[in-house]
Chains A and B, each alone.
Chain A
Amino acid sequence: MTPVELTVNGREVHLQLDPRTSLLDALREHLKLTGTKKGCDHGQCGACTVIVEGRRINSCLTLAVMHDGEQVTTIEGLGTPEALHPMQKAFVVHDGYQCGYCTPGQICSAVSVLEEIKAGVPSHVTENLDRVAFSEDEVRERMSGNICRCAAYSNIIAAISDVAGESKA
């Protein structure tokens, strides 16, 4: 067993883990933060997306021990039922889900996507590499690592656009 110290949603936690434990399993099985979901467990579906040190990653494809001393934000840390994060609120308003299983990953990813656009990180659909700006095409491309089997995609785009201040509605 290996000692691992994490700051999860602002709370410092100390764990003793088998080195094989993924960050996802550490969150769900050891810390009982079951908001983050296990879909494919192979980095293909995005349901396990969390924000580590300010960046969205697939928590299933990384070991908890690799993140010793780091800051992790999960869906539980973005907002609460009483005080929703703007992205959570927008998903409710725009009905950006059906079964809800992929939603925590979608929301963590969406929050980071807007940060990445602000930071000028280009994407595959960025026309001019020097001018990175919000558009629905940018959101579609950047959210491609989050699969929604209910296909709530159009409402997810609406929710993210709303938070970006680019709502057409």
Chain B
Amino acid sequence: MKPFTYERANNVEAAAKAAASVQGARFIAGGTNLLDLMKLQIETPTHLIDVNRLGLDRIEKTEEGGLRIGALVRNTDLAADTTVRRDYGVLSRALVAGASGQLRNKATTAGNLLQRTRCPYFYDIRMPCNKRKPGSGCGALKGMSRSLAILGVSDACIAQHPSDMAVAMRLLDAQVETMGADGTKRAIPIADFHLLPGETPHKETVLNAGEIITSVTLPKPVAGTHIYRKVRDRASYAFALVSVAAIFGKDGTARFAFGGIGAKPWRTAEADAAASEGAKAVAQAALAGARTTEHNDFKRPLVERTLASLYRQQEARA
């Protein structure tokens, strides 16, 4: 690991200011992704700002009838929260589908949104990767791409977004609340939070230098059957090949968000609109514009079959 200096932040304003003023500074919370990448020298921060004691670890009701989740709420606590379990079941389900018990005890809400891709070419510093080293090329395009994205990809990058939690957040229309280095607060709809790779895959979110996530808010609960289905190579502790978060309403409407297939958590209005027509129509709408490789073309039928399985599950419950 490359040397770095370390400080513990005591308030949000100071943390944001410090992060913007020191070149190469990074926030550290759970550290489960960042430290892994630092050991491999994929991430080489010069300064770490430990935000663990900023007190952003509460879950509270909002005036609008929704929920405000502190940036530092651990994945375990969010999944176990009684309001989340009762009113936002899909979020609880998505959280416990991710990682291991040990990692969920450390990993935070904000850190989960910022976790980086698991593309094997991003992880291997001997390989070209436009995300890790802009301009070096993409090893995955003509390489091993079985796990990688088929939606929102570009000629520069086909990395997939690895999060389960973020897929549920996308389904629930979450907003990401931040504070900038100058103290400015803003709320970013999760649909706009992650950037598509385009020609600049190293830019992954709309966050500015020093800008810190303070909380994530959820609107009022969405009634219906909440389901999160994750398809992966092992029954537990593996990243998604395809995952689907869904809420089926009693009136035949439904909403869907997808993981494992997108450069970011994927959701389209067209897929939601096709809900009453069944799995095939929803899959077709969701996969519009999909660009597959020889190795990951299986994700197209897998999306449809996963959706079909969700429809069966929800019909059985109805």
A144 to B236, CA, bound (A): 6
Contact of A58 among B5, B86, B102 (CB under 8 A): B102
Residues of B within 8 A of A57 (CB): 102, 105-106
Q: Is B3 an interface residue, CB under 8 A from the partner?
A: yes
Q: Assuming the A-B contacts A49-B102, A113-B101, are A119 and B80 also in contact, with contact meaning beta carbons closer than 8 angstroms in the complex?
A: yes
B31 at the interface (CB under 8 A from A): yes
Docked-complex contact B3 and A144, CB < 8 angstroms: no
Q: Are A56 and B102 in contact (CB under 8 A)?
A: yes
Q: How far does the alpha carbon of A121 sit from the alpha carbon of B36 in the complex, in Å? A: 26
Q: Nearest chain-B residue to A21 (Cβ)?
A: B1
When the two chains form their complex, are residues A61 and B36 in contact, meaning their CB atoms are under 8 A apart? yes
Chain A residues within an 8 Å CB radius of B234: 144
Contact A121 B79 (CB under 8 A): yes
* Those of B18-39 within 8 Å (CB) of chain A: 28, 30-32, 35-36, 39
Question: Could you say which residues of chain B place their CB within 8 Å of the CB of A2?
Answer: 6
Q: How far is the CA of A122 from the CA of B28 in the complex (A)?
A: 27
> B76 within 8 Å of A by Cβ?
yes
Cβ–Cβ contact A19 & B92, under 8 A: no
Q: Name B50's closest neighbour in chain A (CB-CB).
A: A66
CB of B96 within 8 A of CB of A126, answer yes
Contact A129 B101 (CB under 8 A): no
Instruction: Note all chain B residues with C-beta closer than 8 A to A136.
Output: none
Please, how many angstroms separate the alpha-carbon atoms of A3 and B92 in the complex? 38
- Residues on A with C-beta less than 8 A from B3 are 18, 20
Task: Give Cα A41 to B1, complex, Å.
Answer: 12
A116 touches B101 (CB 8 A): yes
Confirm or deny: B298 has a beta carbon within 8 angstroms of a beta carbon on chain A. Answer: no
Whole-angstrom distance from the CB of B294 to the nearest CB of chain A? 28
Q: A62 contacts B31, CB within 8 Å?
A: yes
Contacts of B97 in A (CB 8 A): 124
Instruction: Judge whether B85 and A130 touch: CB under 8 Å.
Output: yes
Given contacts A19-B48, A61-B35, A120-B80, contact A55 B105 (CB under 8 A): yes
| Chain A residues, Cβ within 8 Å of B76 | 55, 116, 121
Kindly state whether residue A123 has any CB partner on chain B within 8 Å.
yes
The CA of A129 and the CA of B234, in the complex, are separated in Å by 22
In whole angstroms, what is the CA distance A130 to B96 when docked?
14
Smallest Cβ-Cβ distance to B47: which chain A residue: A19
| B100 CB-CB contact with A under 8 Å | yes
A45 to chain B, nearest CB (A): 10
Q: B100 to chain A: closest CB distance in Å?
A: 3
- CB pair A144 B100 closer than 8 Å: yes
With A41-B39, A62-B35, A145-B100 already in contact, 6 other A-B pairs whose C-beta atoms are closer than 8 Å: A43-B36, A46-B102, A66-B31, A66-B50, A119-B80, A141-B236
A→B interface (CB under 8 Å): 2, 18-20, 22, 41-43, 46, 49, 55-58, 61-63, 65-66, 68, 109, 112-113, 116, 119-124, 126, 129-130, 140-146
Where the two chains meet, the residues of B that have a C-beta atom closer than 8 Å to any C-beta of A are 1, 3-6, 8, 28, 30-32, 35-36, 39, 48, 50, 52, 76, 79-80, 85-86, 89, 92-93, 96-97, 99-103, 105-106, 234-237
- The 12 listed contacts between A and B (C-beta, < 8 Å) are A56-B102, A58-B32, A58-B106, A61-B32, A61-B106, A62-B30, A62-B31, A62-B32, A122-B79, A123-B96, A129-B85, A145-B100
**In the A-B complex, the 9 residue pairs with the closest CB atoms:** A145-B100, A144-B236, A19-B6, A144-B237, A129-B85, A121-B80, A55-B105, A124-B96, A58-B102
